[in-house]
Amino acid sequence: MDNGEEVHDERESMIIRRDQLSFKNIFRSFSFPRQRQPFSDHAFGYSFTAPKSGTTGGRYCRSIRSHFCTPLTLITMKILLQVATPLKWLGLVVEFLLNLISLNGGILGLIWRLMTVRVKFPRRGTAEFRSVLAFVDDRVELDGKRSLNNYFTPLMELKDHGGLGDINIFDLTMMAAKISYENAEYIENVVNNHWKMHFVRFYDCWNKFLESNGTQAFIFCDKKEDADLIVLAFRGTEPFNAYDWSTDVDLSVIHAGKLGYLHLGFLKALGLQHEEIFDLGFPKHLKIDKPAKKPAAYYVLRADLSDLLTAHRKAKIIVTGHSLGGALATIFPAILSFHRDTGCAGAVLSSLAGVMTYGQPRVGDETFKAYFESLMQGKLYVRMVYRFDLVSRIPFDDYDEDNRLSPFTHCGKCIFYNGWYHAKVLEEAPEPNSIDLVTAVPRMYLSVWTDLFNALFALRFNEGREFEEGPWLILFRLLGGHVFPGGAFHSPRDYVNATRLAKLDQRSSALLRSSKTMAEINLLKEIN
């Protein structure tokens, strides 16, 4: 505009072009503290408006200001993309060596087998092959023996009425989120033989924009016949996958109509077909080849859940995920609602009992938050955050009228674990961006030492062998916690410990017993 004012179109969307993201371009963008430029003036920025007619056009007018969070995000993305290939190979080597040592009875056993030429070599994709996360936490059994009455009293109703006998529904969903990082045969073995439930299918889905199978999930039922519960678990951010991490911090957004602004990277992971127009990105129907060579996650999962509901008419659906998987678990029902007038989407949505996420990043703006919270009325939505988990605090909440590049906010209340034994229900976790050098960082380091003490002494002697941590885990906490403290709190192991041990304070107990929460509990009674 001639008077220099910005024009903000409610349908504006923004894409960060990774191939144009360079340190030189980032430095130029933020070299002047009072610089105000349209985002599209920068080499890495592509911005547009999407008129209702379904064509793109207009000029995108959001401007970049010298805010700390935005350049930090762009620099982080660039570093991750630079190290993607070596990080991937590092992961392959580490996993192979860990499995090689484990398969041959430890380091001494491996030396003996080398001397006797009887070495067993691990085969990726088998039930015996484990990811790094499975070595960090090798537990596969559900927490059926532990009484929530002694630990998580306010959630006792969820276990008694919405669980499966003595199984804690929180533990079940977190364990499902944890094993989602493993291969299909490993998952099938755990579900069928350890949990005595019914494994349905593992999904390795296509990301059109990465041109790779970048999204994984699996579905299981509590019983093979006449199931009461169906669980969909999305895989989260893999430790050695730089593209997953760069997706978590990405600021790219697309305007999704009544859903508001949504994180573009997460939509791509779910099977987005067009990155500029949401209606084209997620059409109501998408042809799925049989067998699907390049399956789009949302469509194959929706179709299979619909088929399962035909076979199990009383079943309720729980969607879960850790990290990036939690983000996908949150967006999935929103797109179902967007397509609710189609038969399969409406059926799946009407049978949805709840969404339970762990260490979930932010996925949308205030409009999406209002939409999602309305959608989940009468259903269970629980978002867990363990201490200073950095992933639950990205993309950064950096939105204001001058810097409208990061409009992300969390949905609903969260259960915040400020330790293995304590939890609170809050609107938002403390230190929402975890970058305050005066308060957040010192508290992170203090919490690292607290967790290290618990790992060395309290858990081993007070809570039983299943919580005992060996020297490798202690080393992980000691080194990882001090090099990258915010990431150390993201471990699935800590979330499993928290769901099994944490107690709620009195104020949080009252919040969970509110009318809305009781409606959620009553709905979950239908599972049994």
- CB count in 10 Å sphere of residue 5: 8
Residue written as tokens 């990811």?
131
Torsion of CA 337, 340, 343, 349, to 10 degrees: 40
DSSP assignments along 191-251, one per residue: IIIIS-SEEEEEEEEEETTTTEEEEEEEEEES-SSS-SEEEEEE----TT-HHHHHHHH--
CA distance 304 to 410: 29
Backbone angles phi, psi at 263, to 5 degrees: -65, 120
List, in sequence order, the alpha helices (H) in 361-470.
366-375, 440-453, 459-462
The one-character DSSP state at 386 is E
CA distance 497 to 442: 24
- CB count in 10 Å sphere of residue 63: 16
Label the pairing between strands 12-16 and 45-49. Answer: antiparallel
List, in sequence order, the alpha helices (H) in 384-514.
440-453, 459-462, 471-483, 485-488, 492-501, 506-512
Cβ–Cβ under 8 Å, residues 277 and 253: no
CA distance 499 to 253: 32
Label the pairing between strands 422-426 and 503-504. Answer: parallel
List, in sequence order, the alpha helices (H) in 250-339.
264-270, 278-281, 297-311, 324-338
Active-site positions read 323, 389, 490
Label the pairing between strands 229-234 and 212-221. Answer: antiparallel
Torsion of CA 458, 462, 463, 466, to 10 degrees: 70
Q: Which of 162, 127, 159, 132 is nearest to 143 (CA)?
A: 159
Residue written as tokens 């699996």?
218
Taking 3-state DSSP, the helix, strand and coil percentages for the chain, each rounded to the nearest 5, stand at 45, 15, 40
Rounded alpha-carbon distances, angstroms, from residue 468 to 204, 265, 356, 435: 33, 37, 26, 32
Q: Identify how many contiguous H helices and E strands the chain contains and give both numbers.
A: 22, 15
The one-character DSSP state at 167 is B
